[in-house]
Structure 1
């Protein structure tokens, strides 16, 4: 019975250990041949957040997820897509969080509106406090 239990546990551990052994995507570390396309890809990669590291761009991260994202950016740029199209695709796939360049949308407009509302409230309070005394 112990042998059977050990075999079952061992067979479950094999897929978990194989996940880290996957080779990196071809364009994760290899640059594009066209310097203009590589420059566009590199500029875009600097503005995309690594979802695993969360504080690094995918250009700076060594995480395998960032390598896969660099690969996707490079093959899409090489296929003729514009950088903003690639950004939109990645944001659709991974959410707004992936981009360091904030976009006003239905879900993010309060983040842009609340500071302005707060400043107006502070200005109103200050005006009422100090404006009546003069």
Structure 2
């Protein structure tokens, strides 16, 4: 007999924002920008060429998710992020996560597909995203 899901686990299944936070960080290459160094927000934003204030929101969310560590004003990768999310790591899995990100919009059409029985995806991800092709 299988174990019943708790209310907390049911909520966890619906927390799409954690997934999108991770996928956005991988696409922006946040973890590689922090590779081996602790950096302040201004430096990270400059390295990535992004808006500083909104990047701060993303970095703090990654801290809450335990993918980054924050010490005062500086951010650094957690051990797991350094191992799996830094582009030059031999154990990098970001390319697989980018595949998930590329399918994000297609999965958003699932309800439409179920309701109509019609395929709602016109093209395969490898045809639409040159980074993955």
Taking structure 2 as the reference length, what is the TM-score of the superposition?
A: 0.22
| Greater fraction helix | 1
Taking structure 1 as the reference length, what is the TM-score of the superposition?
A: 0.22
| Higher Cα Rg, which structure | 1
| Greater fraction strand | 2
